[in-house]
Amino acid sequence: MRIGRIHFVFRMSHYKCAVAGLLILTLSALAFYAQALKPKALFLTYQEAQPVLEALEEVLPPDLKGKSSKDLTAFWPTWISRRDAEIRGRLALGDEDSLVNLLLFGTSYTKQPRITIDEIVAIAQTANSSNESQAASSRALTILRARVDDLIQGLSAPGANERLLFGRQVLIQRTGYQPGTAAGHQRLRDYLLTSVSRVLKEQGSYAKALAAARSMGDPSEEFAERSRMYRNRGLSSDTSLLPNYGLEESLKALLSRGLIQPGSVKRIAVVGPGLDFTDKQEGFDFYPQQTIQPFAIIDSVLRLKLARSDALEVVTFDLSPRVNDHLERAKQRAQRGSSYVVQLPRDPNATWKPGAVQYWSQFGDQIGSATTPAAIPAGVSGLKVRAVSIRPAIVSRITPADLNIVLQHPELPAAERFDLIIATNILLYYDTFEQSLALLNVERMLRPGGFLLSNNALLELPFSRVHAVDYLTVVYSDRPDDGDHIVWYQRASD
Ligand SMILES: C[S@@+](CC[C@H](N)C(=O)[O-])C[C@H]1O[C@@H](n2cnc3c(N)ncnc32)[C@H](O)[C@@H]1O
């Protein structure tokens, strides 16, 4: 995120089961129990969505625009189920983007160096570039082509490498080509190079849109543009540690300003927890896929004494079966007594701010203990890694549920609404209309006085009961644009 001072007013004008005494729980009973805790997902009805449709008449999607209220009432159920399928369909393109990240940055299937951000920029600019950047680009292209061949080789014999198994499934599903054959290899090579070029092109268009927003000289406009920058992109699951540092700093500030009280957080929702696949900055593929945010938020609220570990429930809401299955399996393993290990890589060359290094150093001290980190592969130099083994009792507090936050909210009795909702790096995948629908859903999930923390600027329609109270800018490192504006949205009473 580009950090700039924001004049932050972005308005219209501008679960629970008491189960005692069960000594023996069979696996099927456990599965049933987990299921029983899951809130049911309800689609927004037309009556619920109507105020948003009316207020944003001008910017409605073409299939909703210009229809009378009577026509919309009849069409809404068709629209919402179709749109739900379309949004979920964006996961496939996001999976392909993850595969491109594995291709550029993975180390588990190749001895080629990771491709650096500068080299990616050089490849993208190659057509109209100087001799110097053409040389950088030609080196990067040689590495890229060797990586493509190594990846296809890896995909043809993935063994137990979960990322290669996933990549193989994604590619075969999308192309029908088999990596183990000569013809398949050739076709997959072309396909992967085209995917890289698509991703680079997309990155270029985001950079252009941001430059245009920046040139207006208004940081609020720029933040608003960033906040829906990925509206046409595939849905990525990638995640990293540092946004959680931004969240902890925000909670600290809320606490010191008396906006949130010690011991007041009992129920937390994490919308879009994500899965660390292979990210270009702090994500690597030399350790198992992992989720971080649900654990990070528990660690933070315990550290700040906002919650007690024996009176805390966390529900994660995601539409990705991969993310939900990962969390479900972690929970089931925890119920059998296994802890969950999180690997925390840090590249000292990335010059993290002292506060970020401090956050990294103490991460997990409330929820587990330090353990031996995964071995760093020979080709990755200078990296530091911590690992934390998270106690099964903490992992068991998390309940994953399927939900499309744009169109659905969980069926919750008033007493089970959330004290705190986290949604970082998710709402920027949607346009203003869909973000406004998401905010309607968040409103139904938050208790009066509860907070939504998000690193996106959301439009506040006049009838909304969720309002931005303030925001905190947290800078993560000396790299350009590395930080977040965390906006504190609070729900007013009914
Ligand atoms: C880029 S990841 C961000 C992960 C994490 N929140 C973070 O900040 O690192 C986005 C996550 O949101 C999920 N997601 C995207 N759209 C969603 C939607 N409409 N409803 C629920 N989850 C969604 C994705 O599947 C993914 O897990």
Is residue 111 scored above 70 in pLDDT? yes
Instruction: Give the pLDDT confidence score for residue 281 in this predicted structure.
Output: 65
The DSSP call for residue 357 is H
Atom 27, ligand 1: residue with shortest CA distance:
274
Is residue 2 scored above 70 in pLDDT? no
CA 444–ligand 1 middle distance (angstroms): 19
CA 439–ligand 1 middle distance (angstroms): 15
Q: Which residue has the higher pLDDT, 153 or 278?
A: 153
Atom 14, ligand 1: residue with shortest CA distance:
272
Average pLDDT of the segment spanning 98-112: 91
CA 423–ligand 1 middle distance (angstroms): 8
Instruction: Give the pLDDT confidence score for residue 135 in this predicted structure.
Output: 66
CA 430–ligand 1 middle distance (angstroms): 11
Q: Which of 19-28, 138-147, 463-472 has the lowest mean pLDDT?
A: 19-28
Atom 7, ligand 1: residue with shortest CA distance:
239
Maximum Cα–Cα distance for the chain, whole Å? 74
Is residue 97 scored above 70 in pLDDT? yes
Atom 9, ligand 1: residue with shortest CA distance:
239
Is residue 143 scored above 70 in pLDDT? yes
Is residue 23 scored above 60 in pLDDT? no
pLDDT band at 310 (very low <50, low <70, confident <90, very high): very high
Is residue 485 scored above 50 in pLDDT? yes
CA distance 193 to 212: 29
Is residue 70 scored above 70 in pLDDT? yes
In sign, the C-alpha dihedral spanning 33, 35, 40, 41 is positive
CA 401–ligand 1 middle distance (angstroms): 13
CA 487–ligand 1 middle distance (angstroms): 17
Nearest to 275 by CA among 237, 309, 247, 245: 237
Relative to the CA of 87, which ligand 1 atom is closest?
19
pLDDT digits (tens, 9 = 90+) for 257-308: 999 999 999 999 999 999 998 866 666 899 999 999 999 999 999 999 999 9
Instruction: Give the pLDDT confidence score for residue 25 in this predicted structure.
Output: 35
Q: Which of 46-50, 180-184, 471-475 has the lowest mean pLDDT?
A: 180-184
Q: Which of 31-35, 368-372, 375-379 has the lowest mean pLDDT?
A: 31-35
**Helices and strands, number each (H, E), in the chain:** 14, 12
Instruction: Give the pLDDT confidence score for residue 10 in this predicted structure.
Output: 41
Is residue 313 scored above 90 in pLDDT? yes
What residue ranges line ligand 1, CB within 6 angstroms? 87, 235-240, 243, 271-274, 293, 317-320, 323, 403-406, 424-426, 429
Relative to the CA of 407, which ligand 1 atom is closest?
19
Q: Which of 14-23, 164-173, 227-236 has the lowest mean pLDDT?
A: 14-23
pLDDT digits (tens, 9 = 90+) for 323-356: 999 999 999 999 999 999 999 999 888 899 999 9
Is residue 32 scored above 50 in pLDDT? no
Instruction: Give the pLDDT confidence score for residue 439 in this predicted structure.
Output: 98
Alpha helices in 106-228 (DSSP H): 117-124, 131-156, 162-175, 182-215, 219-226
| pTM of the predicted protein model | 0.90
Instruction: Give the pLDDT confidence score for residue 475 in this predicted structure.
Output: 97
Query: Within 13 Å and on the Cβ side, how many CA atoms surround 163?
Result: 30
Query: In Å, how far are 50, 88, 180, 375 from 110, measured between CA atoms?
Result: 53, 32, 17, 16
CA 323–ligand 1 middle distance (angstroms): 9
Relative to the CA of 322, which ligand 1 atom is closest?
25
Contact between 321 and 315 under an 8 Å Cβ cutoff? The reply is: no
Average pLDDT of the segment spanning 128-157: 81
CA 235–ligand 1 middle distance (angstroms): 7
Pocket test for ligand 1, best of 98, 317, 318, 328 (most atoms within 8 A of CB): 318
pLDDT digits (tens, 9 = 90+) for 417-444: 999 999 999 999 999 999 999 999 999 9
Considering the chain, what is the average pLDDT of its residues? 89
Relative to the CA of 237, which ligand 1 atom is closest?
26
pLDDT band at 15 (very low <50, low <70, confident <90, very high): very low
Instruction: Give the pLDDT confidence score for residue 14 in this predicted structure.
Output: 35
Please tell me whether residue 344 adopts helix, strand or coil conformation: strand
In this structure, the strands spanning 41-43 and 368-371 are unpaired
Is residue 226 scored above 60 in pLDDT? yes
Instruction: Give the pLDDT confidence score for residue 287 in this predicted structure.
Output: 92
Is residue 128 scored above 70 in pLDDT? no
Average pLDDT of the segment spanning 175-203: 91
Relative to the CA of 240, which ligand 1 atom is closest?
9
Pocket test for ligand 1, best of 83, 426, 427, 429 (most atoms within 8 A of CB): 426
Atom 19, ligand 1: residue with shortest CA distance:
404
Is residue 4 scored above 70 in pLDDT? no
pLDDT above 90 covers a percentage of the chain that reads 73
CA 23–ligand 1 middle distance (angstroms): 37
CA 318–ligand 1 middle distance (angstroms): 6
Average pLDDT of the segment spanning 202-224: 86
Please tell me whether residue 446 adopts helix, strand or coil conformation: strand
Q: Categorise residue 10: left if φ over 0, alpha if ψ from -120 to 50, beta otherwise.
A: beta
Instruction: Give the pLDDT confidence score for residue 133 in this predicted structure.
Output: 58
